[in-house]
Every structure is written in C-alpha cells, then in structure tokens.
Amino acid sequence: MPLVSVVLPTHNRPQSVVRAAASVLGQGFEELELIVVDDGSAVPAEQALKQLRDHRMRILRSDMPLGPARARNLGLEVATGSWIAFQDDDDEWLAEKLERQVAVGEQAPPDVGLVYCSFWMEYRDGRRIIGGRDTERPSGAVHLELLRGNFVALPTVMIRREALERVGRFDPALPCFEDWELFIRLAAHYRFEHVPEPMVVAYDTPQSINKSSSSLRVAALERILEKHGEAIASEPAIHADFLFHVAHHRCLGGEFDRGRKMFGKSLRVQRSWRAAMTLAAANLGPGTYRTLARFYEKLRSHD
C-alpha cells in the first residue's frame, strides 16, 4: 500500500502533463501512487505519458470533460494512500517535496489534517517565492484566515486521508475555487502545518485555472457564501470583503446594476474606503471601471 496517493487531472496539455507527472514519479520519497485523470482530452493523455513507464502510475480517462472538481473526485475514488496529494498538469514538484512533507505529517498529531509548503511562481519576467520564510504562511488553526481568502495552493498540499473522508470531497457545484472551499471545510476541524521551503514550481500561463472568468468567480463566491454564510457573517470585515469581491466581478462581467447594489450591501455591512471608491468608479461607466481594475490588478501582482 502506498503511503501517499497523488491525484493529477489533465485536459489537453500533453507536454506539460509529462513534466508534471515526471516530477511526481521522480520524488525522493518513493512510497506513492500517481493517479492521472484524463479529463476528456482530445488526444488521450496516455499517448504522451507512456514514455514514463512507471508501475506506480495509473491513468483514468473520462471521454467527456468533467471539470476540475469532478475529475479530482474521480481520482479520489481509487486512491489508497494514507495521505492524499494533488498535482496540476502545468506545475512541477521539486524532488524533496513529499519526503519533507511526509516527515512533518507523520510526526504531527492527528488533529493536523493538512501539510502545505511554499512555492515558486514562474512568471515571464522571472520567478518569486510565494510564502517563503520572510512571508511565512499561517499554521495551526487557520479557519478564520481561510475565510478571509485562500493562501494555500492545491499542488502544495498533502491531506490526511481520515480528514478528507470526514469533510467530504470537492464540491462539483463550484466552477472554480473548489480547492479553497475544501480547505475551509478542513480548517473547521483540523489544524494546518506550513513548511516554508518552496518545493513546487507553478507556471503562470494564460490557461491557468486561476484565470477563471468573472461570471465563474461570481458563481463560486456565491456558492461559498451559501455554504459558509454563518461563519462569514459572524465576522463583518470578512463578510463585507466577500460581498465586495462578488460586486467587483459582477462589474467586470458587465453586470453593473447588480454590482453597484452589491457594493452598497458591502458598505452597509462595514464601511471601507476601498468599497466606496470602487462604487464611485462603477458609477463612471464600464470603460473607466475596467481601466482602474486592470491598474489595481497590476499593482497587486507586484506586491
């Protein structure tokens, strides 16, 4: 029985999935199984992956695209490890990732349900560490921090199997942010442990899942509000911020009337200069709003 099961969904990325799978099979820690879920690729991923020839790799295929949540859940149905890890088909693990995380996880008490690490973000103009020692991510009880926003990248995690069985799998109703919502559920019952060394390389590409459209982000945020509304509403600053982001993405998607109403709702929950200024920008029209939004996102990317 492998100690770690790694679930890797892929869709139409024959070159990068080979790199991603090879980085899993090349781990210094060898007690693993790799479950590749071919999520309706036009050309079966098996054709590209056959060059790896490793008995620890198993390929499941769905003829129709399932989407990230359902594809990962399909992999989880056959996973047998005591710990579950996830890889994306456009990312790469460094060779010591699992060995380092298993050492931390196996020594941790049972109430530690998830171990995650920092990672390198590879941009066109260079690479930077996300969550390194100088900006260390939270450990311990992190439920409140996760309600504020996601700081855990799915390819960096290793989750205790018992914890995942307790809280359930990915929510297939979420078009994006399905990993964040799972982490919120996990953090309500378990502590997280952060390893500050960057042991994953994430590549910023136009096809990355974090480039989801505004309409998908609105649907996902509203689903998270529906599922975790009581906890979110108990913290006015978090509640107002959730409403702000729903309003922002409604405006980006062209729904300015609904966006402005949501900005107003956010301001009624808690006053903030950011919401007030953004509402003012929304009143100036779509062109002005989108220009200011692009400027804001550019500033955030260099934080």
Q: pLDDT tens digits, residue range 63-100?
A: 999 999 999 999 999 999 999 999 999 999 999 999 99
Instruction: Look up residue 141 and give its two tokens.
Output: 């009880």
Res. 299 pLDDT band, cuts 50 70 90 = very low
Residue 32's pLDDT is what? 97
Whether residues 265 and 170 share a domain: the answer is no
Whether residues 153 and 227 share a domain: the answer is no
Taking every pair of Cα atoms in the chain, the longest distance, rounded to a whole number of angstroms, is: 61
Residue 133's pLDDT is what? 61
Q: Which of 208, 241, 267 is the last residue of a domain?
A: 208
Whether residues 130 and 270 share a domain: the answer is no
Whether residues 13 and 157 share a domain: the answer is yes
More confident residue, 135 or 79: 79
Residue 90's pLDDT is what? 93
Residue 173 has pLDDT above 60, yes or no: yes
Residue 181's pLDDT is what? 98
Domain count, the chain: 2
Whether residues 152 and 75 share a domain: the answer is yes
What pLDDT, in 10s, does the model give residues 221-259? 999 999 999 999 999 999 999 999 999 999 988 899 999
Whether residues 200 and 277 share a domain: the answer is no
Beta bridge partners of 3: none
CATH code for position 17: 3.90.550.10
Whether residues 129 and 267 share a domain: the answer is no
Q: Which long-range contacts (CB under 8 A, 24 or more apart) does 160-168 make?
A: 160/82, 160/83, 160/105, 160/110, 160/112, 160/113, 160/114, 160/190, 161/79, 161/81, 161/82, 161/83, 161/84, 162/110, 162/113, 163/113, 163/114, 163/189, 163/190, 164/76, 164/84
Residue 114's pLDDT is what? 98
- Residue listed under structure tokens 């690729």: 41
Residues 184/101, Cβ–Cβ less than 8 Å: no
Whether residues 80 and 218 share a domain: the answer is no
Percent of the chain at pLDDT above 70? 92
Whether residues 232 and 268 share a domain: the answer is yes
Whether residues 26 and 145 share a domain: the answer is yes
Residue 302's pLDDT is what? 40
Q: Rounded to whole angstroms, how far apart are CA atoms 274 and 296?
A: 11
Residue ranges making up the domain that contains 218 = 213-301
Q: Which of 178, 193, 208 is the last residue of a domain?
A: 208
Average pLDDT, the chain: 91
Q: Which of 162, 182, 208 is the last residue of a domain?
A: 208
Res. 136 pLDDT band, cuts 50 70 90 = low
Whether residues 204 and 255 share a domain: the answer is no
- Residue listed under structure tokens 């019952």: 189
More confident residue, 121 or 161: 161
Whether residues 182 and 228 share a domain: the answer is no
Question: At 145, which amino acid appears?
Answer: E
32-36, 114-118, 270-274, 292-296: which has the minimum mean pLDDT? 292-296
Q: Rounded to whole angstroms, how far apart are CA atoms 34 and 244?
A: 39
